[in-house]
Amino acid sequence: MDNFHVYDTTLRDGAQQEGLNLTVADKLAIARHLDGLGVGFIEGGWPGANPKDTEFFRRAQQELQLQHAQLAAFGATRRAGVKAADDPLVAALRDSGAGVVTLVAKSHDRHVELALRTTLEENLAMVRDTVSHLRAEGQRVFLDAEHFFDGYRDNRAYALEVLSTAFEAGAEIAALCDTNGGMLPGWIQDVVNDVIESTGVRVGIHCHNDTGCAVANTLAAVDAGATHVQGTINGYGERTGNADLIAVVANLELKLGRDVLPAGLLREATRTAHAIAEVTNVPPASRQPYVGSSAFAHKAGLHASAIKVDPMLYQHMDPIEVGNDMRLLVSDMAGKASIELKGRELGYDLAEHPQTVARVTAKVKEMEARGYTFEAADASFELMLLEEVEGTRPSFFTVESWRVISESRAVGEETEATVKVHAGGQRYVVTGEGNGPVNALDSALRRAIARAFPAVAEFELTDYKVRLYDDGHGTDAKTRVLIETTDGDTSWVTVGVGENVIQASFEALVDGLTFGLWRHQK
């Protein structure tokens, strides 16, 4: 789709995010996910600048079979006083195997003189020589005009001359970079309008999010005539990040009616964002537009009442269009409509049982007042719902007693937990050890129940969160614990509240095992 470019720079600019470190294997995996989303270009990194990126391009030639995207190599113009054909970093771009090279060039006169330490005339020669050399070698060339907007303000004529020089030498795109991220949408629009009218170059846009406007700035540039957008998945990038490419693309397709991805692939957006988050080991932001887990989550009872009539009354779009889904949250703000809709989501038709809905609503409010939360703990809520709907709570075992002993020694610490459990008509007394009281309790409880219910061997605790419920009481405050458990196929979250973290944890552990066994039996 060469009339409009969707250009991803997650593997290069996004990788500059603090705490984000990608291996070559990580970059190859992310590239495959990006190709599945249908982006037009994947910027793989800077070959020649570091061994990892050089290795990525070497392996990409054999290991990547891209269906939609073209691989782009990022690099700089030749050094001052050296021919492009003789510059080793330009040679690395030439030999990368990438069909597209994106050259970063200084377009701010102060950067040319202070950072490059060369003349404005030599900088233009560096741009002209490098672009024409790579074009002669058969590669497509895009230009990233670094610090363009700041340079435009200081010396408009020179900033425009850099773009014209690159375009005349054979560059297809001049991407205007808000490198410091300080621009606002109206300013972006005015500058892009002027660039197109004054130079006739094909304009792209590359925005950083330091003002919180990266996505809005990108859309403003497109509105002014830019036909090439750059960004990163999940808004990864240095400082506050780059423009979130999925938000940009979703707004272009769903709000502005522009087809910028291959048909139907926007529905891969949520899966792609979360899959890449798994590779980067950076937890996805729950409130991320379009693809966040909370993007279509509804909590207030007033909202639920309206959604019961028509989901679109409180949603700006159908979440399925980006591969997401609507969620109903249960909390002390819930009304009867929230409970009825949440029940329907979990497979229980409560429309003809208003008394049950009223009891569950009252119980949720009462329990949340005592410190429980059911927004994330769907499993604990479903166990409560089962008790109200069917008159009994699923029960596979009963706990007679439990205790935990932690001993600190000169050579380390040792924690031991003992549980006495009745399961399958038998009484079990089991001791477990762990690297802390919760781990020891989990081990002992699981081992005891496994004798009657072997399915618990498949269960694994995957996440554990603790917070003080009543902050005003300090270390004497009530504790809330959320535990996520998985059986390898699905996961569920349970909540426990107690006077101390161990008591709260044990309650959440019991609920987690109970729910897992109930689901397994079901």
Residue 148 lies in a domain: yes
Q: Which of residues 331, 352, 368 is at a domain's end?
A: 368
Q: What is the pTM of this model?
A: 0.72
Regarding whether 59 and 127 lie in a shared domain, the answer is yes
> What's 347-413 look like in SS3?
CCCCCCCHHHHHHHHHHHHHHHHCCCCCCCCHHHHHHHHHHHHHCCCCCCEEEEEEEEEEEEECCEE
Answer with the one of 280, 309, 329 that is the final residue of a domain: 280
Specify whether 264 is located in the same domain as 316.
Answer: no
Does 247 lie in the same domain as 123? Answer: yes
Domain end point (choices 220, 255, 280): 280
CATH number of the CATH domain containing 427 = 3.30.160
How many domains does the chain contain in total?
4
445 in a structural domain: yes
Q: Based on the fold, state whether residues 354 and 377 are members of the same structural domain.
A: no
pLDDT tens digits for the chain (522 residues)?
689 999 999 999 999 999 899 999 999 999 999 999 999 999 999 999 999 999 999 999 999 999 999 999 999 999 999 999 999 999 999 999 999 999 999 999 999 999 889 999 999 999 999 999 999 999 999 999 999 999 999 999 999 999 999 999 999 999 999 999 999 999 999 999 999 999 999 999 999 999 999 999 999 999 999 999 999 999 999 999 999 999 999 999 999 999 999 999 999 999 899 889 888 888 778 889 999 877 777 665 445 455 555 566 667 888 889 988 766 655 445 556 666 666 776 777 777 777 777 877 777 777 777 777 776 678 888 888 888 777 788 889 999 999 999 887 767 678 899 999 999 889 999 998 888 888 899 999 989 999 899 988 888 888 888 877 655 555 556 788 888 988 888 888 898 888 888 989 999 999 999 999 988 887
**126 and 101 in a common domain:** yes
Contact 343, 385 (CB under 8 A): yes
Residue 234's Cα: distance from chain center in Å?
Answer: 4
Task: Tell me: do 114 and 257 sit in the same domain.
Answer: yes
Whether 195 and 217 share a structural domain: yes
- Same domain? For 381 and 472 the reply is yes
> Helix, strand, or coil here: 209?
coil
260 shares its domain with 310: no
Q: Verify that 374 and 490 share a domain, yes or no.
A: yes
Domain that holds residue 333: 297-368
Q: Is residue 105 situated within a structural domain?
A: yes
- The closest of 273, 216, 303 to 37, measured between CA atoms, is 273
Q: For residues 50 and 139, state if they share a domain.
A: yes
CA–CA distance, 515 with 513 (Å, rounded to integer): 6
122 and 146 in a single domain? The answer is yes
